[in-house]
Structure 1
Amino acid sequence: MSYRRGWVALLIFSVVVINYMDRVALSVAAKPIAAEFGLSPVAMGYLFSSFLWTYVICLIPIGLIVDRIGSKTIMGAGLALWSLATALTGLTWNLGSILGCRLCMGAGEATSYPAGARVIRDWIPEGERGQITTLFNSGAVAGPAVGAVFVAWLVSQFGWRPAFICLGILGLIWLAAWVVWFGPPERVSWLPAGERAKILAERHGRDIEDIDADTAQSSLFHILSIPTIWGLVLSQATIVYLGYLFLTWMPTYLQKTLHLSVFDTGLFTSIPYLGTLVLGLLIARISDKLLTPAAVRSGGRRYYVVSMMAFGLLVLTASMITNTALLLVVITVVVTASNTASAFNLTMVNDLTENPRDAPRVMSCVVFGGNACGLIAPIVTGYVVQVTGGFDWAFRIASALLVVGMVLSLTLSRGRIPAQHVSPRPAMREATT
C-alpha cells in the first residue's frame, strides 16, 4: 500500500523546522546583536524570551478556532506572518524594533502546534501516531541543528541582518508548497483510494468505529476541569523550561565554556540537535511497537515521558565536565531527553482525547502550559548568569522542575479526556491504569 501520508508528515515536520530555525537565529547571532545595540545578559534574556509572550497569548484562541477555520488556513496565515516578521528583523535599528518583530513572530508561530495536532489526528492512523508526532516535534531539534550552522555561516560571511532576511524568504517558499498540495484526506486528489480508506478507518483507532464528524467541540471550561489535562499541561511546563534554556542560551554557554567563534558556536550547537533528531525518532519507533492500543488509550505513554525526564537530570553533570567531546555527549542526551519527553507528552493529547474536534483545543492548552513556563527560562537564566557569572544554578533550577514534572505526569496523566456533548462509546471507556 502507498504511503503518501508520509508527504503530509514531512510537510508539518518541515514547518516546525523553519519555525525553530527562526527561533534559534537570534541566539546564534546574539553576540553581534548585543554588541551593536549595547545589550546586557539580562536584556538579552528578555529579548530571547519575547517571542514567547505573544506565542503564549495566542495559543488558546488559535486552538479554539482551528477546527472552525481549518488547519490549512490557520497554518498558512501563521507562517506568512512569522516569516515576514523574521525577514523584517534584518531591517531593525534598535532594541524596540527588534522586540516588535519578535512579538509578531511569536503570534504567527502560535499556529503551528494546534494546527499540526489536527493534521495528525486527521491524517495519521493511531498505530503510527507516536512516530509521526515525534517526527513533527523533532522539527524543534532539526531546526536548531540546521539553523545554527546556516545562520552562523550567514552571519560570518554577510552579517546578521541578511541571515534573518534569508530565513524569512525560506518560510514563504514553504507556504507556497502548503497552499498547493495540502488538504483533508477525504478530498485531496493525489491520495490513492486504498490509503484513503486506511486513514479514515484507523485514525480514531483500529477497533473503534468512526466518530461523528459533527460532534460538537467541548468547551474550554470542560477541558480544564479534567485532571488529566493538568497532568499534561504541568509536566509539559517542566519539560519545556529545560528545552528553552538550551535553545536560547546554548550558543552563549558554549562560547563562554569553550571560547568559540560565531561559526564554531553554530557548528557545536548543531551537534546535540542532530543527535537528538536520530535518537528521538528511534525511541519513538520503539515506543509505538511496544505500546498496545489499550495502553495507549489509558495513558501508558506517560512512563516513556517520565523515563526521558529522568535522563534530562544529567544536565547537573555538565558543569563538572571539562572534556569537549564528553560535554557534547551529555548535552546531546539532555536535549534528546527534553525533546522526546515533550513529543511523547504531546502524543498523549491524541492518545487520550476522545473527540477529535477537541484535539486542537487540548493541544493548545498543553503547549500553552509548556511555553508559559518556557518563556521565563531565558529571563531567569539571564539573571543567573549576570549574578553568578555561570550556568550552574540555571541547570539546578531546571533539574528541580523536572523532578516535579515526573511526579505530576505519573499521578495525573492517567485517564481519558472525554467529550462533553456525547457519551463515550463503550469501546472507548477504558479503565485507567
Structure 2
Amino acid sequence: MKKTNGRWLVVVLLFIATTVNYMDRAILGIAGPSMMKDLSLSTVQFGILGSAFFWSYALMQIPVGMIVDKLGARLTYSIAIVWWSLCTVFTGLGRSIGTLIGIRVLMGIGEAPAFPTNTRVISDWLPANERGVANGIFNSGTAIGIGITTPVLAWIIEKWGWQAAFVVIGSIGFIWLAFWLFFFRNQPSQSAIANKAEVDYIAAGQTETKSELAIKISPIKFLRYRNVWPMLYGLFAHNYLIYLMMTWLPTYLVVERHMTLLKAGFFTMLPWIMSFLGNILGGILSDWLIRRGWNSIKARKTILAIGMLFPLFIIPTVYTKDAMTALIFISIAIGGEGLAAGILWATVSDVAPIGAEGKLAGLQNFVGNLAGWLAPVVTGLLISQFKNFTIALIIPIVICGIASLAYTFIIKNQRISFHEEKTEEKNVATGM
C-alpha cells in the first residue's frame, strides 16, 4: 500500500495558522504611525502598547503547555484562534490607550497556545528525520505574517484607516478554523487523511515511547537540566530581534529613513522574505545532517549557533546613510537568523521526553516571550532618549551573539529522560 502524505497537509495547516497568528500581532507595527498620530500617542506609550500583548502571552505559556498535553491540539487550537481573532477585530474599535492595552492583554491569552500546540502536533505527526523541515515550514509563517502582507495592510490603512485593517485581518482566523476542524485529528491513526502505511511510517520514525512520568511531570523540573537553559535563552534572543523589528521596523523606515507608509510597507517585505527562506533552509540543513548520521541535537544546535551570528550584519546599518543599503543589511541579518528560527521548535521535540513536548515548549515560550515585555518598551525609551534607533539596534546583536555561544558550548547531545532519573532515585531509596 502506497502511503499517503496527510502529515504534510497538517504541516500546511500549522503554517497558515502561524501566518494568521503573526499577521494579527504584526498589524500593530504597520498601523503604528497612523495610530500614534490619530490617538496622540508618544513613542513610549506606543512601546507600552506593543509590549502589552506579551505580558499575558508569556505568563500563559507554562499553563497552556500543560493544557495542550492534556486536552489535545484539536480543541486547544480551535478555542485559541477564535479568541485571538475576536481580540484583533476589537482592537480596531479601541479609541483610548487604556482600552487598547486591555484588548492586547486579552489577545496575548488567546495566542498563547499556538507554538506549544504546533510543537506537540509535529511530535505526534512527523518522524524525527522530517521534523526540521516541518518546523521550518510552520515557523516560516511568522515571516509571512509579519512581512509579506505588509503592503496590503499599508494600502488598507491608507485607504480606509487603521481600524479597518484590524477588522479585516481578525476575520481570517475563522476561515482557517473550518479547515482545521474538518481535516485534523490529534493522532494520525484517528485521521482520515493518513492511511495505515503512513501511520506505520510515522510510528517507525518515532523510536521513543511516551512515559507516563513525563506526561505528569511539572514543567519547572526542566530547569534542572543544562540543555534547557540555552534553549530558553535562545528563543529570548530570537524574539528580542523579531519583536523589535515587528513593532518598530515600519516606523523606523518612516521616521528615520523618511519613507512614506506605503513605500515602507512595500520594502518591509524584504527582510521577511529572507526570513521565510532562512526558516525553510535551516530545517532542510538540520534534517540533512541527521540523515548523514549526525545526532539530531548536534545537528540542530550547529545550525542554531550559525544562525544566531547573522544579526552582526545589523552593525553596518548604523553607519550607512542610504535607506536601501540599511534595509539590505537588516534583511541579511533577519534572513540569516531565520536559519535558527526554523528549528528552535524542532529542538524541543528532540530534547523533551516523549509526552512532555508541550510542557517544555510552554516553558521555552514563556522565557522567550519575556523579550516581548522588553523589546518594544526599551526601544521606545531609547528612541525617546537619543532621538534615533542606533542603541536600540545594537542590543539584539549582543543578545544573539551570546545565544550562539550558549548553543555551541552548553547543550549536550542527548534527550532528557525522566524515566532514568526516577529509576535512579528508586535505586538509591532502596539501597540498590
TM-score between the two structures when normalised by the length of structure 1: 0.92
| Deviations, residues 87-107 of structure 1 (Å, cap 9, x unaligned) | 011111211111111111111
What is the Cα deviation at residue 3 of structure 1?
A: 1.9
Which string of whole-angstrom CA distances, capped at 9 and with x for unpartnered residues, describes residues 274-305 of structure 1?
Answer: 12212331342123112358633443321211
Contact kept in structure 2, 1:303 and 1:410, CA below 8 Å: yes
Q: What is the Cα-based RMSD across aligned positions, in Å?
A: 1.9
Distance apart, 1:164 and its partner CA? 0.6
Correspondence for 1:296: 295
* Aligned with residue 359 of structure 1, among 345, 357, 360: 357
Give deviations 1:303-348, integer Å, cap 9, x for gaps.
Answer: 2111111111111111222334332321111112333323323221
For 1:47 and 1:423, the matched residues in 2 are separated by 44
Is 1:21 equivalent to 2:23 in the alignment? yes
Preserved contact between residue 256 and residue 388 of structure 2 (Cα < 8 Å): no
Q: Write the mapping of 1:213-228 to structure 2, written as runs, cut at 5 A.
A: 214=212, 216-217=214-215, 218-228=217-227
Separation in 1, partners of 2:19, 2:264: 19
2:44 is matched with 42
CA contact 1:115–1:360 (8 Å) conserved in 2: yes
CA distance, structure 2, for counterparts of residue 212 and residue 423 of structure 1? 15
**Is the Cα–Cα contact under 8 Å of residues 311 and 396 in structure 2 kept in the other structure?**
no
Equivalent residue for 2:140?
A: 138
Whether contact under 8 Å (2:130, 2:287) holds in the other structure is yes
Percent of aligned pairs sharing the same letter: 29
2:29, 2:247 within 8 Å by CA — same for their partners in 1?
yes
- Work out whether residues 63 and 360 of structure 1, in 8 Å CA contact, stay in contact via their aligned partners in 2: yes
Structure 1, unpaired ranges of 5+: 426-433
Give the total of aligned pairs. Answer: 419
- Contact 1:240-1:338 within 8 A present in 2 as well: no
**1:385 maps to which residue?**
383
- What are the equivalent positions in structure 2 for 1:22-421 lying under 5 Å apart? 22-183=24-185, 184-202=187-205, 204=206, 208=207, 210-212=208-210, 214=212, 216-217=214-215, 218-292=217-291, 295-353=294-352, 355-421=353-419
What amino acid maps onto 2:48 in structure 1?
Y
TM-superposition CA deviations, 1:183-216 (whole Å, max 9, x none) = 02111112222112111221x2xxx3x5147554
What is the deviation of 1:404? 1.9
Q: Which position in structure 1 is the counterpart of 2:430?
A: none
Matched letter for residue 406 of structure 2: L
**Which deviates the most, 304-313 or 330-339?**
330-339
Rounded Cα–Cα distance in structure 2 between residues aligned with 1:194 and 1:269: 44
In 2: Cα distance, 1:103 partner to 1:298 partner: 35
* 2: CA distance, partners of 1:311 / 1:114: 26
**Do the aligned partners of 1:300 and 1:414 also contact (CA within 8 Å) in 2?**
no
Alpha-carbon distance in structure 1 between the residues aligned to 2:400 and 2:223 = 23
Moved more, 146-155 or 247-256: 146-155
Given that 1:244 and 1:375 are in contact with CA atoms closer than 8 Å, whether structure 2 keeps it comes out as no
Deviates more, 1:335-344 or 1:112-121: 335-344
Q: CA contact under 8 A between 2:317 and 2:327: conserved in structure 1? A: no
Structure 2 Cα separation of the partners of residues 278 and 216 of structure 1: 35
Contact 1:237–1:369 at 8 Å: present in 2 too? yes
Distance 1:57 1:150 in 2: 32
Structure 1 residues 298 and 9: CA distance shift in structure 2, 3 A: closer
Counterpart residue identity of residue 320, structure 1: Y
What residue in structure 1 maps to residue 426 of structure 2?
Answer: none
Counterpart residue type for residue 133 of structure 2: Q
Gaps of 5+ in 2: 424-432
Aligned partner of 2:358: which letter? P
Amino acid at match of 1:316: I
Q: Is the 8 A contact 2:214 2:354 kept in 1?
A: no
